[in-house]
Amino acid sequence: MGSLLTALTAIAGPMDSFHHERILSVKGYRCVAGTDEAGRGPLAGPVVAACIVLPPDCDYSLYRDSKTLTHAKRLQLCSTLITIGASIGVGIVSVEIIDTINILRASLLAMKLAVDDLATRHPTPDFILVDGKFTLPSTIAQEALIKGDSRSASIAAASNIAKVQRDALMDELHVTFPQYNFARNKGYPTREHRLAIARYGPCPAHRRTFRGVKEFV
pLDDT (tens digit, 9 = 90+) per residue, 114-168?
A: 999 999 999 999 999 999 999 999 999 999 999 999 999 999 999 999 999 999 9
Q: Structurally, how many domains does the chain consist of? A: 1
pLDDT (tens digit, 9 = 90+) per residue, 90-100?
A: 999 999 999 99
Q: Is the pTM of this model over 0.95?
A: no
Sign for the CA dihedral angle at 131, 35, 171, 44 comes to negative
Q: Report pLDDT for 186.
A: 98
Query: With 70 as the cut, is the pLDDT of residue 15 above it?
Result: no
The answer to whether residue 162 is domain-embedded is: yes
Across the beta sheet with 141-145, the strand order is: 87-93, 47-53, 32-38, 127-131, 141-145
Looking at residue 69, which CATH number applies to its domain?
A: 3.30.420.10
Q: Is 4 left (phi over 0), alpha (psi -120 to 50) or beta?
A: alpha
29 vs 21: CA distance, rounded Å: 9
- For residues 55 and 46, the answer to whether their CB atoms sit within 8 Å is no
What share of the chain has pLDDT > 90, as a percent?
Answer: 89
Tell me how crowded residue 92 is: count the other CB atoms within 10 A of its CB.
20
188 vs 107: CA distance, rounded Å: 16
Label the pairing between strands 32-38 and 127-131.
Answer: parallel
46 vs 105: CA distance, rounded Å: 13
The answer to whether residue 153 is domain-embedded is: yes
Q: 3-state DSSP call for residue 50?
A: strand
Domain of 42? 2-166
Sign for the CA dihedral angle at 76, 77, 78, 82 comes to positive
Residue 130 main-chain phi, psi, to 5 deg: -110, 130
The answer to whether residue 197 is domain-embedded is: no
The answer to whether residue 185 is domain-embedded is: no
* DSSP state letter for 58: S
Query: With 60 as the cut, is the pLDDT of residue 7 above it?
Result: no
Label the pairing between strands 47-53 and 87-93.
Answer: antiparallel
143 vs 200: CA distance, rounded Å: 43
| CA proximity to 35, closest of 139, 104, 99, 125 | 125
